[in-house]
Chain A
């Protein structure tokens, strides 16, 4: 079963628009960790955020914000006032407490059009 689902394969927005990237996860663990990574065209994976399952506070970092909803098993990522440099593939990932591996979603390709 897919542990992390990113239903949006590709999104295009015009610069300065807000955009939300969806992530739904599945786990039986009560303690787990959620992550977002950015993969720009150059190919590297850039760590953006980690969220623990017991901390449901939403987080804001500059133009980025994350909405963690345990009740719906979702961990959505919003970029406010998008910029061309935000164009990348964004991956959501899950790590369960009893295990080391990170389960990645299939990624959402975001294109910001100038």
Chain B
């Protein structure tokens, strides 16, 4: 069964460092998403991506964040200068227009 794959599963980084979270969406899907979930809290929308550009983004998705689909298969989320409050589980998702299928998440810990 096709699935969304995220790497790494866990990333620890120092405050102020840049991190790149990687995702391989399901191959025939057209819509891509990043969500995050701070421990024990709700799942929050960050950004959606369609047709090689951002289609929607939330207030959380400020200038520190960027997304890219560099090679037609990977979908990356970059956080330029991490803050302690960026510590969360980050989920990538893809959709063909119906339900979104989520990856297993990357747990980012900023120390």
Contacts and interface: CB of A to CB of B under 8 A. Distances in A.
Interface of A: 33, 35, 37, 42-47, 49-50, 91, 95, 99-107
A55 to B, nearest CB: 12
B102 A44 contact: yes
A100 B104 CA distance: 21
Interface stretch (B12-20, B48-56, B67-75, B79-87): B48-56
A103 B105 contact: no
Interface in B27-60: 31, 33, 35, 41-45, 48, 50, 55-56, 58
B104 A44 contact: yes
Contacts of B101: 47
A102 B100 contact: yes
Interface of B: 31, 33, 35, 41-45, 48, 50, 55-56, 58, 89, 91, 93, 98-105, 107
Nearest to A47: B99
**Most A CB atoms within 10 A — which of B56, B58, B99, B104?**
B99
Contacts of A102: 33, 35, 45, 93, 100
Contacts of A104: 35, 42-45
A46 B93 CA distance: 11
